[in-house]
Amino acid sequence: MSDALTRLRRLARPMAWAATLALVLIPLFWGIGLVSGEYRLNHLEADLGIALPDTVPTANVIAVHASGAVAVALLLMVIWNMRRLFLLFARGDVFGPEAAQTIRRIGMWMLATALFGVVNRTFSVLILTLANPSGQRSLSIGFSSQDVFLMISAGLLVAIGWAMSEAARLADENRSFV
């Protein structure tokens, strides 16, 4: 095994552990934040950068939190697939078709996370201002540089996944040479 593959295996093990930890801690802290009131209206107001009415119907707040939960779930899917990839690397399965497919999946979920991030902000602003009198409701659509970066990274990962599929085919062919 080459030095690079040995280093990769050595790096993959702690990274898989870190991903496992993130899978536990992210929903835990999100839940704690929800219970402790971190996501109350004044916090949402600051996060979204809009002025909210004094009272927002509970159903609307629940809808915003549900949408936030979907965003967290998408992020967890990205991390779950990263963990899967690191476990494959730790086992030495670097150029297998499964690793290539997992890299593509990470890219797809990352793209979904980025797109949903944009939709989520738009939806949250709309829902939170829906109870406002007519003329004071807001609709905010915007891309942040972070969204763009995430989308480009997602595209890059999908491309790398395809390249890895070709690498897997070549590795398989190489194995059938003596």
Partner 1 sequence: MAVEIVVRLDVMLALRKMKSRELAAEIGISEAKLSLLKSGKVKGIRFETLARICAVLECQPGDLLEAVPEA
Residues in the chain, total: 178
Tell me how far apart the alpha carbons of residues 100 and 30 are, in angstroms, rounded to a whole number.
31
Report if residue 176 touches partner 1, rule: CB under 8 A.
Answer: yes
Contacts with partner 1, 118-157, as mask; x by CB under 8 A: ----------------------------------------
Tell me how far apart the alpha carbons of residues 125 and 59 are, in angstroms, rounded to a whole number.
14
Q: Which span sits near partner 1 by CB under 8 A: 131-139, 149-157, 161-169, 170-178? A: 170-178
Structure tokens belonging to residue 48: 């979204």
Report if residue 1 touches partner 1, rule: CB under 8 A.
Answer: no
- Nearest distance, CB of residue 170 and partner 1, angstroms: 12
Q: How many positions of this chain bind partner 1 (CB under 8 A)? A: 4
Report if residue 177 touches partner 1, rule: CB under 8 A.
Answer: yes
Structure tokens belonging to residue 58: 């509970």
Q: What Rg, from alpha-carbon coordinates, does the chain have? A: 21
